[in-house]
Amino acid sequence: MNRSAEHPQTALLVIDLQHAMFESDRIPPIHDGARLLATVRELLAGARQAGMPILYVRHDGGAGHVLEAGKKGWQIHAAIAPAPGEPVIDKRTPDSFHETDLLPALDAARIGRLIVAGAQSEVCVDTSCRRAFSLGFETILVSDAHSTWDSEGLTAEQIICHHNRILARPFATLLPAAAIDFTQYSLPLPLAGEGSYGASGRGGEVS
Read off the pLDDT of residues 4-45 as tens digits, 9 standing for 90 and up.
Answer: 778 889 999 999 999 999 999 999 999 999 999 999 999 999
Ordered structural domains, the chain, with CATH: 3-15+30-53+95-185 (3.40.50.850)
- At 169-193, the pLDDT tens digits run 899 999 999 999 999 886 654 433 3
Given a cut of 50, whether residue 199 has pLDDT beyond it is no
Nearest to 197 by CA among 123, 104, 95, 73: 104
Q: How far is CA 179 from CA 10, 36, 46, 70, in A?
A: 16, 16, 12, 36
Helix segments in 51-186, DSSP class H? 102-108, 126-134, 156-167, 182-185
